Chains A and B, each alone.
Chain A
Amino acid sequence: MIASHALLSAQSISLVYRGGVRALENISLELPPGQFVSLVGPSGCGKSSILRLVAGLTAPTAGKLLVAGEPASRARRSAVRLAFVFQDPTLLPWRRVEDNVALPLELAGGARSARIEAARSALELVGLSDFARRFPSQLSGGMRMRASLARALVVQPELLLLDEPFAALDDITRQKLNTELSRLWEQRRWTGVFVTHNIAEAVFLSQRVIVMCARPGRIIADVQVPFEFPRTMELRSRPDFARLCGEVMSLLERGSR
């Protein structure tokens, strides 16, 4: 069943790497606009590959992948405002934070004053206003990740792809950024695909958790997360939150057997 209004529509896509490694097999997935989805699974299950396919950085070996009605290889050029947050902050060390954040607008050819203004307000969203004129090397790991997030938000994305963005951070910083990301999503309602292997993070952030297993990478479960927004720290200590995390965990375990 193909929903025509889906922002992201994957129809039995497969990805085989050179040398015959089957990274993804028969992945079908529909994402309505504005939904925040997490992909969880063990390393090697191809969850990051899905993001790269959606961003049009690689092409599927088989199957059909549409983003906003266009093939993924074309979509980011015309059909959809897309942003990608990498596992590392991926900032240019020779640029000030605000110039890093403004980079996507600069590449699109925006006027300097307008893009710096946009960068400043994106930095405000992530609480980095006071650090706009600093260089990345002068920021902590958590702050660099916030800057990276600001750079994604500056394009006002309709589709935001996040590839384990908080994996390298300590747990306290990670939970804090989870809460902020959730708040930002509530304001902006982009369509989000969040890749992680942290179950609590996936459940906390998402409306829906896709559970994957490895060798070859495939989807084994699609779990709805019913918790209301705004989601705050208290949610993490609720028994129904813990129960849902446990459920996802046992699905993962069953998949790895």
Chain B
Amino acid sequence: MSEAVRAAARAVLPPAVFLILIVLGWQLAIVVWQLPPYLVPSPRDVWAASQEHAADLGWAIPLTGAAALTGFGLSLVCGTLLGLVFSQFKWVQRSIYPYAIFLQTVPIVAVAPLLILWFGYGFQGVVAVSFILSLFPIITAATSGLTQIDPNLVELFAVHNATRLQELLKLRLPNAVPYIVTGAKISCGLAVIGAIVGEIYAGFQGEHIGLGTLITRANAALDTSYVFAGVLGSTLLSIAIFATVSVLGSTILARWHVAAGRDSTTR
């Protein structure tokens, strides 16, 4: 028991202390260099701004979160399906997969205005940007997981006259699960970025706005404390989504009995 408490303290205490130091240093820098609040607001200003705009932030975070989760969900489904097609049809993989890899190196954010133009200045447009941005990690992860299989296992299935469908359902898909979990962890963060970037270009035309729009408007009004509050909200959203995906992923991996958690590369 006390050992567990001590382990938890070892994990939580150093970053907590570091956070306190950062906030103190931030406040100190403002006092020492006399930084004006429109450049760098103090922690207290940011806190005050988030209290003042609590209602707007309270709408913006779930709104952006909904767009990001929708984009991420679509990526998860479409990326896995594309990986499936790639794994089943070698010629499709050979002709299309190189582009999937190549597109990962292209700053897809650059096409965000186009996507907004095509999908509309609203929720759909934002989801489209979030989706495109978070899609490729899932495609590559699913394709690797479905194709990178111990050749002995493939031969085992062949020796026992497995059909192609049996091989897919009982070997390739289960093999891909840990890969897709890893891809999802990368993808979910990108989905949040995509949603915010999408909102910067689109905004919501309703009565409520998302974090991207909120930050742009606060910035235009030179309300820097409010911009900081928006950034803080984005960070919290991102952390919440990543933590949820991580916990779900670890649960699935534990059920899968693969040594991902014990793997030295992930520690």
Contact = CB atoms under 8 A, between A and B. Distances in A.
Given A94-B256, A94-B257, A103 B150 contact: no
A137 B259 contact: yes
Contacts of B174: 92, 94
Contacts of B155: 52, 55, 57, 84, 86
Given A135-B257, A137-B257, A92 B153 contact: yes
Q: In which size bucket is the chain B interface?
A: 20 to 34
Most chain A CB within 10 A, of B159, B162, B166, B255, is at: B159
A108 interface: yes
Contact of B160 (A107, A135, A136, A137): A107
A84 B255 CA distance: 28
B8 interface: no
A155 B155 CA distance: 16
A108 B159 CA distance: 11
Contact of A86 (B152, B162, B255): B152
A25 B162 CA distance: 31
Contacts of A135: 257
B29 to A, nearest CB: 51
Nearest to B163: A107
Interface string A38-57: 00000000000000100101
A107 B157 contact: yes
A93 B257 contact: yes
A86 B156 contact: yes
A107 B170 CA distance: 9
A232 interface: no
B258 interface: yes
B161 A77 contact: yes
Contact of A84 (B159, B162, B171, B258): B159
A135 B259 CA distance: 12
Contact of B162 (A52, A55, A107): A107
A76 B161 contact: yes
B5 to A, nearest CB: 29
A255 interface: no
Nearest to B256: A94
A101 to B, nearest CB: 12
Given A94-B258, A108-B160, A137-B258, 5 more contacts: A76-B161, A92-B170, A94-B177, A136-B257, A137-B259
Interface of A: 52, 55, 57, 76-77, 82-84, 86-88, 90, 92-94, 103-104, 106-108, 135-137, 155
- CB-CB nearest 8 A-B residue pairs: A135-B257, A90-B152, A104-B160, A84-B159, A94-B256, A86-B152, A107-B160, A107-B162
13 contacts: A55-B155, A82-B159, A84-B159, A87-B152, A90-B156, A92-B170, A94-B174, A104-B160, A107-B166, A108-B160, A108-B161, A137-B259, A155-B160
